[in-house]
Amino acid sequence: MSEHLLSATGLHLSFGAIWALDGVDATLWPGEILAVVGESGSGKTTLLHVLSGRSAPDAGLVAYRDTEGVAHNVHAMPAPQLRALHRSDWGFVHQNPRDALRMEVSAGGNVGERLMAQGARHYGVIRESAIDWLRQVEISPSRIDDMPHTFSGGMLQRLQIARTLATHPRLVFMDEPTGGLDVSVQARLLDLIRTLVARLGIAVVLVTHDIAVARLLADRILVMRHGRVVEGGLTDQVLDDPQHPYTQLLVSSVLQA
Amino acid sequence: MSGYNFAYLDEQTKRMIRRAILKAVAIPGHQVPFGGREMPLPYGWGTGGIQVTAAILGPSDVLKVIDQGADDTTNAVSIRRFFARTAGIETTTHTADASVIQTRHRIPETPLRADQIIVYQVPLPEPLAKLEQSRAETRQMHALAEYGLMHVKLYEDIARYGHISISYDYPVMVNGRYLMSPSPIPAFDTPKMHRMAALQLFGAGREKRIYAIPPHTDVKPLDFDDHPFRLTRAPQACGLCGARDSYLDEVVMDDRGGRLFVCSDTDYCAGRQSMRQDEDAAA
Amino acid sequence: MRPAHPEVLRTEALGKSFTLHMQGGVTIPVLRDLGLTLRAGECVVLSGPSGTGKSTLIRSLYGNYRADTGRIMIRHGGDWVDLAHADPRVVLAVRRDTLGYVSQFLRVVPRVSTLEIVAEALTSRGTPPDEAKLRARSMLLRLNLVPHLHDLPPATFSGGEQQRVNLARGFIPNHPILLLDEPTSSLDAVNRDAVVELVAEAKAAGTAILAIVHDMTTRDAIADRLFHLTPLREAA
């Protein structure tokens, strides 16, 4: 049996008197998609930031197991190592693609940046890879030299995904990746994420307030409230047979299409 | 000149600048902050270069100052006179005769020797500044040698123009470690920095940064394997001395579009012209 | 009954109730002390009036509902796994390799074509995409889904068409155990016959099938035996 890719134990983080994380444990297996759901203020985004090393917890441990099977304490890692990890093995997909993309750099340059950051020094190869990734996210390669500001919201999000996946990360953190998009655009993006992630065997921690998104993408789900995980397990089991009062409320509040 | 310390700056300041220079030499290509002083000329006129020059000059030094390769432009003339008066040192326009050469935007065509120092005036020391606004972030990038972003800029150039279009201030890697702005010298001059025998010092007055390339240090222009750095030069020969290996300025001669290409390095050009005359006279 | 065929699924003292926190925490017991055995190559049909927990049982066996008490032993590869207490990862592995489930309703990602939905049941188990699509196409044709529907997402299909997509997806991976929750409820006679044929073939291949079927003709055609569920309140 393989080992956890990421494991968090006893995470605590308070903002003043408010516990954003109040004793959270979480694990992730290689290739697994874990959804973290909850209302805004539940601590799910904070959890994402702590898991990815972007913010430090007051207490608790986040361990990442690298390709050699060596476990690293994410929050004790030297900054260069953590940054290198974020550039290579890890990816982060923001809700607003403008937070991640370089808006003054062409689509191709955006996709190629992580490759160049990893030392790619052959223009032709970088360009081929950019074209390949644009195709994979269903952006016409003819748009490769266009500036992101000429792209629609859905295209920008797909460009961000191409940029993130170009270095074949093992673990991608996603913060409401379909938020702020039209429903039809969302469906396309969901399918894209699902297909790419399955094909590339990427593990994902997905934060979303949208239970339908969690159901379609995630193997496993954590339900958060007031900085605690109130329920966790197989996605369809938690959503179809919720045990905790809060989960029952959450599930029953979803509009059925 | 009485009433001033030798070479204008007081000795404490010079020591401070020398310490910065020593550190800069020890970490080739790394920008060292220093307590830049107000100088009696405006920023952009070479205040950084002047402070570096002032800190390294000794009474026996011979100073040459060029601006865009020329010894006779206002900026060059006034800086040369400034040190002639405040330090009482000898000045020259001949590259070979100078022990210290302060320059704006050129490297002399005549190869520099181990007993010479070249001081560059630098307007913008940070090569990543145009790509990343945050100073904290660019410092971090230097600290971790994360220079992928600079290649993004080169990538964008090739995507847009089919080649790397940077014609001056071409970003270089120094000693395989630090990304450095060579100051706004033409890309034509960039290879001269590579393993140069002379010590190269850079002073940025407004930004208060000093950096350096010790003698015989590797200086490599950034490029791609399939788009290597290439020397570009106007195809003409110098209209005055006939040189085909020098960097040329284009001079408009009249109102009818007449133009002349001449060496930007006036000393080099003059030297070649007088050699020609000698040859003509001998023949 | 073919005793030569080994057991592949066994529940031991299985119990399941629902606590409805939204309705003042009332608890509704549905299954209690249930013991069911399923052998390779047999088809067992659940019988009993509606409300006796047939669907709940099927969903509990699939791990879609969480069993409160007892064990759900499933022969997974060479091992026995207690699905009621297994790690989610193990449950997913059992679902991928051992346990198939055809629910009443089709639940899929929007925009994905019917062919891809069915083929994915194979590609997720390592079948090359081209082969998976070929087999998916022939399975859809067996269930009388005309070719021009194959490339469309099933969202706009009729109930019967969606059910056949679901059936195709459920039968194509040849799982050793297959759970069918009213697989023919929206089908016409021709398609019911197609399902009966699929069940017969699966049984011949050693698949154990547990089904809920209300239609008597189909039930009689596929069932080797019935497993009767009685309402708990009466039993209690």
pLDDT at C57: 96
Q: Is C23 exposed, middle or buried (0-12, 13-18, 19+ CB in 10 A)?
A: exposed
C-beta separation of B124 from B204 below 8 A:
yes
Average pLDDT estimate for C14-19: 95
Q: What six digits make up the tokens of C200?
A: 């017969």
pLDDT at A184: 80
Active-site annotation holder among B36, B238, B239, B257: B238
| C202-211 per-position pLDDT tens digit | 999 999 999 9
Average pLDDT estimate for A145-169: 95
pLDDT at B41: 86
Cβ of B77 under 8 Å from any chain A Cβ? Answer: no
Tell whether the model's pLDDT for residue C234 goes beyond 70. Answer: no
What distance in Å separates the CA atoms of residue B90 and residue B5, rounded to the nearest whole number? Answer: 17
Q: Which residues of A touch B146 (CB under 8 A)?
A: 83, 87, 117
Q: Which residues of B touch A126 (CB under 8 A)?
A: 155, 224
**What does pLDDT average to over chain A?**
93
- Residue among C126, C216, C203, C133 nearest C168 (CA): C133
Cβ of C174 under 8 Å from any chain A Cβ? Answer: no
| A54-112 per-position pLDDT tens digit | 999 999 999 999 999 999 999 999 988 999 999 889 999 999 999 999 999 999 999 99
A199 — pLDDT class (breaks 50, 70, 90): confident
Average pLDDT estimate for B197-206: 97
Residues 6-65 of A with CB under 8 A from B: none
| B46-99 per-position pLDDT tens digit | 999 999 999 999 999 999 999 999 999 999 999 999 999 999 999 999 999 999
Strand duo C43-47 + C208-212: pairing: parallel
- Please give the order of strands across the beta sheet that includes B172-174: B178-180, B172-174, B219-221
B279 — pLDDT class (breaks 50, 70, 90): confident
Q: Which residue of A has its CA nearest to B140?
A: A80
Residue A158 CA to its chain's centroid (Å): 13
Cβ of C65 under 8 Å from any chain A Cβ? Answer: yes
Touching pair B, A by Cβ (3+ pairs < 8 Å): yes
Determine how many CB atoms are found less than 10 A away from the CB of residue C223. 19
Looking at chain B, the whole-number percentage of residues with pLDDT higher than 90 is 85
Cβ of A127 under 8 Å from any chain B Cβ? Answer: yes
pLDDT at C235: 41
pLDDT at A256: 60
What distance in Å separates the CA atoms of residue A155 and residue A157, rounded to the nearest whole number? Answer: 5
Cβ of A148 under 8 Å from any chain B Cβ? Answer: no
Lowest mean pLDDT, pick from B61-65, B87-91, B189-193, C22-26? C22-26
Q: Which residue has the higher pLDDT, A72 or C104?
A: A72
pTM of the model as a whole: 0.88
Tell whether the model's pLDDT for residue B1 goes beyond 70. Answer: no
Tell whether the model's pLDDT for residue B117 goes beyond 90. Answer: yes
Contacting partners of chain A (3+ CB pairs under 8 A): B, C
* Contact flag B159-A106 (C-beta cutoff 8 Å): yes
Average pLDDT estimate for A172-187: 88
Residues 182-241 of A with CB under 8 A from C: 187-188, 190-191, 194, 198, 215-216, 219-220, 233-234, 236-237, 240-241
pLDDT at B278: 85
Touching pair C, B by Cβ (3+ pairs < 8 Å): no
- Residue among B222, B175, B156 nearest A121 (CA): B222
A115 — pLDDT class (breaks 50, 70, 90): very high
Tell whether the model's pLDDT for residue A20 goes beyond 50. Answer: yes
* Contact flag B144-A79 (C-beta cutoff 8 Å): yes
| ipTM of the shown complex | 0.90
Average pLDDT estimate for A135-151: 96
Tell whether the model's pLDDT for residue C2 goes beyond 60. Answer: no
Average pLDDT estimate for C72-89: 95
Tell whether the model's pLDDT for residue C3 goes beyond 90. Answer: no
Average pLDDT estimate for B154-182: 95
A1 — pLDDT class (breaks 50, 70, 90): very low
Tell whether the model's pLDDT for residue C17 goes beyond 60. Answer: yes
Calculate the dihedral angle through the C-alpha atoms of B125, B131, B137, B143, rounding to the nearest 10 degrees: -60
CA B31, B32, B35, B38 torsion-angle sign: negative
Average pLDDT estimate for A133-158: 95
Active-site annotation holder among B69, B241, B242, B258: B241
Q: Which residues of A touch B176 (CB under 8 A)?
A: none
**What does pLDDT average to over chain C?**
92
| A35-46 per-position pLDDT tens digit | 999 988 899 999
C-beta separation of A154 from A104 below 8 A:
no
Contacts of residue C63, defined as CB under 8 A and 6 or more positions apart, other chains included, come to A234, A237, C72, C83, C86, C91, C94, C95
Q: Which residue of A has its CA nearest to C62?
A: A237
Q: Which residue of C has its CA nearest to A199?
A: C124
Average pLDDT estimate for B166-179: 96
| C143-202 per-position pLDDT tens digit | 999 999 999 999 889 999 999 999 999 999 999 999 999 988 889 999 999 999 999 999
Q: Which residues of A touch B230 (CB under 8 A)?
A: none
